[in-house]
Amino acid sequence: MVETRGYKCEEHEVITEDGYILNMQRIPFGLAGEAPRKRPPVLLQHGLLMDAITWLLSPPDQSLALILADSGFDVWLVSSRGTKYSLSHQTLSPDNAAYWDFTWDELAAYDLPASIQFVNDFTGQKLHYVGHSQGTLIALASFSKGQLVDKLRSAALLSPIGFLGEMTSPLARIGVESFISQKCMILNDNILLPRDIIKFALYWLGINEFNPRGDAVIQLLMNICKNPGVDCTHLLTSFTGANCCMNSSIIDVFLRHEPQPTSTKNMIHLSQMVKGGTIQMYDYGNEDENNKHYGQPTPPVYNMKNIPKDFPLFLSHGGADALSDVKDVQHLVDNLKDHDKDKIVVQYIENYAHADYVMGVNARETVYEPLMAFFRLY
């Protein structure tokens, strides 16, 4: 996805404190070649059920990773634990239930710090950060504990997720009810029909691993999308909201690579956030278990008001986003009301939904150029 477009790509491995081995790619410079000056590093962190290819799905002049490389940045891409390129562990196999015993709490506590520390050590520089969706959640969780900001120049949060209580996505809402009740929905591969789209989007391939990428599911979707007159951008609408600015041809590219697995426990944790309207650690469901894990009967809360007030933040959200809902983002912004006014930018794009931020044909002009201008201030 990088070298075939004429860019240099390096492979790196990052080992987290709890033993997961993350795959990381570096694009050290753009098509113009290496420059004599040091390039500021930037780490791109994908969202839920995605991997680092998120940033490479569009043509080169529309893909954020390549735009950044061509604009003078040293670009680093990382894939979270459990995804196709980060399935390794020092002692555990993905076939082992213990491998999948994580939620975004662990991504915030282990994956993100290890990734940022690696880039910081390798380049000898502080870095910029870009997160999308869950990639914003884990950053906010870390920042609220005062972590990582000393290694970062700034952070750009696209479709920021701090709170989920107002989420309007119909498909995600159905999923929330399923995960909260912890009931498995398993369909026979032989009877998947177009009318089952909502059901098989929630299809569980295992108790511990949540993998929506079953071969039968992906093949069916690709077959449907090849039919004349079928615009498969609408398949995303019931999950992400009505994306305004995606080319329908990108769905075929998307389905070749995404979606990616995560843990069932992570899906339950996100569902707890929707039901509770809070941002807190995983709730084990009873006081004894919570006491065992946290030393208190209820899960600790991530307090957004504790994010250092002088840390530069660029937030961009869309009016049509059914996952990062406008009301939830406003709740987050209200928590940041004491942030230094010259260190926070909140961009609102009325017709943007969740996937427009990583696959929109006009995202370069609408989001990425303002994002890079913000980075250049720091």
Catalytic residue numbers, as ranges: 133, 321, 354
The residues with which 342 forms a beta bridge, in sequence order, are none
Q: CB under 8 Å to 190, separation ≥6 — which residues? A: none
Question: Residue 277 gets which letter from DSSP?
Answer: -
Rg (CA), the chain: 20
Residue whose entry in the numeric block shows the structure tokens 């490479």: 56
User: Rounded to an integer, what is the distance from CA 111 to the centroid of its chain?
Assistant: 13
The residues with which 43 forms a beta bridge, in sequence order, are 76, 129
> Residue 78's closest CA among 157, 160, 10?
10
CB atoms within 10 A of CB 246: 25
CB atoms within 10 A of CB 201: 19
Q: What is the DSSP string of 169-233?
A: -HHHHHHHHHHHHT------GGG--GGGHHHHTT--S-SSEE----HHHHHHHHHHHHSTT--TH
The residues with which 313 forms a beta bridge, in sequence order, are 155, 344
Residue whose entry in the numeric block shows the structure tokens 């709170």: 163
Burial of 52 (0-12, 13-18, 19+ CB in 10 A): buried
Cβ 172 vs Cβ 270: under 8 Å:
no
